Structure 1
Amino acid sequence: MEKKQEPPLAEAVRRLQGVRVWVVEDDPEWRALVAEELVLHGAVVRGIGSVEALYRELAVDACDIVVLDVVLPGEDGLSAARHLRRIGDMGIVLVTGRGGAADMAQGLSAGADCYLAKPLELPVLVAALHSLHRRMAARAGSAYRETAEPARAAAPAPDTGTGWSLRAGGWELCSPNGQSLALSAAERAVLQELFRAPGSPVSRERLIAALTSTPHDFNPHRLEVLVHRLRTRVRDATHLALPLRALRGAGYLLVPVQS
């Protein structure tokens, strides 16, 4: 008897579960179609109509991957890719009707991680996003290992005394009430540092070093945005507040439960 194959969609849901993807496309019908497809595959999606609107969103929030159409009203996707690559480490996927080798080379030189030509099959986009997110997670893990002490990197996170824990290799945050949240690579890196020192301040410099191999090029404001976004996501997912306190001039502190 032939073994029953698992439905492809179920597999895809696991692959993109929790990945935050922002789709920048001026065609509302195509934007809605792409967003619907990615949501079906587990991604958290935001549809945006222009690069200018994207920048406004980035001022208050962040994502894992941006899918950019090249031809957009106002600033185009190539210019946006160059700017995004300078200010952040999100994944960048360019989508365009111009699929020649020279166009692809220009897009990759602008800072794109992936260049996809139209007409675009949605399963190809889903597969590309999964592959890119997997590479981003691997890069983040490599950067963390390069900046952390070997013995500390290999050691499991100790009991924090907070009731919160990291599981699945640090990719899942579990709350005292049994709820869980899938983490991005950046959130995982920050929480691993905090969970290693419960009750003790962790400097911003140490947290930034866990996020990037080039800390001098890192905008410290991005750490504040990341922590703010993480707190919001934790509260929405678990209905509890993450016991994380900002210490002026000192960094952040994971606060143990007072006995």
Structure 2
Amino acid sequence: MSYLSRMNVLPPRTLRVMVLEDDELLRERILLPGLTDFGFNVTGARSAAELYRRMLTEHFDVIVLDIGLPDEDGLTVARHLRKLSSIGIIMLTGSKRRADQIGALSGGADLFLSKPVDVELLAANLHSLARRLQIPLRGSLQRLGAVDEPGKCWRLETDGWCLISPEGAMVALSVPERCVMQRLFAAHGHPVSREALIGALSEDVYEFDPHRLEMLVYRLRRKCSEQIGSALPLMTARGAGYVFVSEGAADKNATAEGQEQALNPQPAAT
């Protein structure tokens, strides 16, 4: 059973995304399942005509639009959509021509991404665009502050799918990353045992390899460091599990694991 089906992660109002891409393999095997794993309510279409039909009966917040389509080019679709509404538009293309990029942005697109597109990068841009366009979404906002000033804290937004740093930088979370971070935030600075985190990630805790949790934590720390240049205050509480702490308020017994320790954890003493 998937994380999504187990956790019932789609809230009553999540970001609705239409992916207009005529490459069936890219659309059905990569973009749709990939964006679903990052918490989006995603629908696919292969032609402009199908998009227009769907828009008669369905609402979408953002369109991910390929420039090359079988019936109408993406630049024309973007201009048409922009005349009708303020819907978010992200253009995708394999073209490296500067003229195409300028044409996409001047024609109404909000963002322009080159193929092959990284799904995690696309997810981050979707969240960023939703915040910029102030698309109303119902979802919890959890804070864990380093200081008492408003906004100067790590927080989860868009029902836990976005991790926001005290500086306002954003990291898009996958399903397992979101699950772990929600458990840690709910503990309000207290350690959460490895067993509790594994229990949140898997129905069968005995079949779950603990190294998968360690690798998830390692990759999440590295993601924050590489994408937003911030050290994630996700600490290892020795003998207790993991704790998400305010900056400068880490317990003396909690230390951040380095790359080698995360990849090659030492066996527990017997």
Q: Which has the higher helix share?
A: 1
TM-score (norm 2): 0.45
Name the larger-Rg structure: 2
TM-score (norm 1): 0.47
